[in-house]
Amino acid sequence: MNAPRILLILAVVAAGCGAPAKRFNPASTAPLTMTGIGAAETINPAWLKPSTAPYRLGPGDRIEIELLGQGDDTTKALVGPDGRIYFQLLPGLSVWGLTLQETRQLLEREMSHYIRNPRVSITLREVRSRRIWVLGRLNTPGVYAMDQPLTVLDAITRAGGLYSARFTGTTEELADLQHSFVMRRGRLLPVNFKKLVHQGDTSQNIYLEPDDFVYLPSALSTEVYVLGAVTRPRAISFKDEVTLSSAISSAQGFQPQAHIGGIVVVRGSLTEPSYAVVDYLKVLTGKAPDIRLQPHDIVYVPDRPFLQLEKIAALVVNTFVRTLAANEGLRAGGGVSGVQVNIPVAP
């Protein structure tokens, strides 16, 4: 895995905001009724159509160049890391970002310095510059070339399908569809994997773009995630009982700038999150009980007070998605794993 691909995941943009999520009582253990959505409310209809834009070359792509009328000489060329190709006596020609037609015109123009009225044919033989990340509880997770338009289901199929249990052959208990996600340029897209996979809702089956990140976590994992202004942002294994205090302790406490009077706990699916704001100062002074967490809860410690409470769930979910994607990307590239990246979120 090349470093620029991994760094692209880490170079995220500010999260979008949508309809407010529902607040819940963090002291209650009753099941939650999910409502609202974090980053975006609806699927953009344009996402359900394949792109009609012509293919543009990039590093790693392989093309075949044929010089017509000159013995029909055929040459295979690789677009190098600098975006250049080399053909016959020509110096390196930059084709990064050019279409096949533009590349053909460039070659004909440059070859005209050596032969009269050159005619060139260009064929794309291998795509390596356009890729998608398809990771998680799949049979063959990895980074795949986008040699044709691909939907979310196409990507899952290309990655071997959902990982199935060896003895039962079922997949439901191994892929956590409630916490699966698609991330594009640092933003969570509102794809409901449960509707897509279990109900066959094709309105969720969007077309992917280069560098999209598709992740389906394991349903066997019951972790709690602690992010934000803590010493060591991380995932904490859920045992018999995890409280807010024990989770903060496992993250080695707060950073100096932490705003502990407004710790956010997000619960539920990523597309339908609920949230609670906890004044941890009251917990520390015994004025409020400690909060018992549930598996998959996201605890976010801000470094300043939130000014727009209705946007909390969206911001925290996007921070979680970007952090998890960064770590899974590093793992796929042979780097360290575990929730260790602290990406700040704007209040």
| Cα–Cα dist 190/37, whole Å | 8
Residue 288 included in any domain: yes
Residue 55 included in any domain: no
User: Of 216, 242, 273, which marks where a domain is finished?
Assistant: 216
Q: Residues 72, 108: one domain? A: yes
**pLDDT of 141 over the 70 cut:** yes
Confidence of residue 8 (pLDDT cuts 50, 70, 90): very low
User: Of 188, 216, 244, which marks where a domain is finished?
Assistant: 216
Query: Strand pairing partners for 245?
Result: none
Q: Residues 104, 25: one domain? A: no
Q: Residues 133, 101: one domain? A: no
Q: Residues 181, 229: one domain? A: no
Considering 94-103, 169-178, 277-286, the range whose residues carry the highest mean pLDDT is: 94-103
The two three-digit tokens of residue 63, written as one number = 């093309």
**pLDDT of 301 over the 90 cut:** yes
Q: Residues 227, 304: one domain? A: yes
| CATH number for position 16 | 3.10.560.10
| CATH number for position 89 | 3.30.1950.10
**pLDDT of 79 over the 80 cut:** yes
Q: Residues 91, 193: one domain? A: no
Q: What is the pLDDT of residue 2?
A: 46
Residue 343 included in any domain: no
Q: Are 314 and 15 in contact (CB under 8 A)?
A: yes
Give 196-250 pLDDT, tens digit per residue: 998 999 999 999 999 999 999 888 777 889 999 999 998 888 777 889 999 999 9
DSSP 262: G
| Cα–Cα dist 27/45, whole Å | 40
Q: Residues 136, 192: one domain? A: yes
Q: What is the pLDDT of residue 271?
A: 79
How many domains does the chain fold into? 3
Phi, psi for 30 (deg, rounded to 5) = -70, 150
Residue 136 included in any domain: yes
Q: What is the pLDDT of residue 305?
A: 84
Q: Residues 73, 141: one domain? A: no
Confidence of residue 34 (pLDDT cuts 50, 70, 90): very low
Please provide the DSSP assignment of 174-192 as one string.
TB-GGG-EEEETTEEE---
Per the listing, tokens 């991330």 go with 183
Q: Which domain does 25 fall in, by range? A: 3-39+222-332
Residue 49 included in any domain: no
Q: Residues 294, 319: one domain? A: yes
Residue 276 included in any domain: yes
| Cα–Cα dist 195/179, whole Å | 13
Residue 200 included in any domain: yes
Q: Residues 83, 141: one domain? A: no
User: Of 126, 141, 156, which marks where a domain is finished?
Assistant: 126
Q: Residues 234, 312: one domain? A: yes
| Cα–Cα dist 206/154, whole Å | 10
Residue 152 included in any domain: yes
DSSP 151: B
Q: Residues 286, 233: one domain? A: yes
Q: Using H for helix, E for strand and C for coil, what is the string for the chain?
A: CCHHHHHHHHCCCCCCCCCCCEECCCCCCCCCCCCCCCCCCCCCHHHHCCCCCCCECCCCCEEEEEEECCCCEEEEEECCCCCEECCCCCCCEECCCCEHHHHHHHHHHHHCCCCCCCEEEEEEEECCCCEEEEEECECCCEEEECCCCCEHHHHHHHCCCECCCCCCCCCCCCECHHHCEEEECCEEECCCHHHHHHCCCHHHCCECCCCCEEEECECCCCEEEEEECECCCEEEECCCCCEHHHHHHHCCCECCCCCHHHEEEEEECCCCEEEEEECHHHHHCCCCCCCECCCCCEEEECCCCCCCHHHHHHHHHHHHHHHHHHHHHHHHCCCCCCCCCCCCCCC
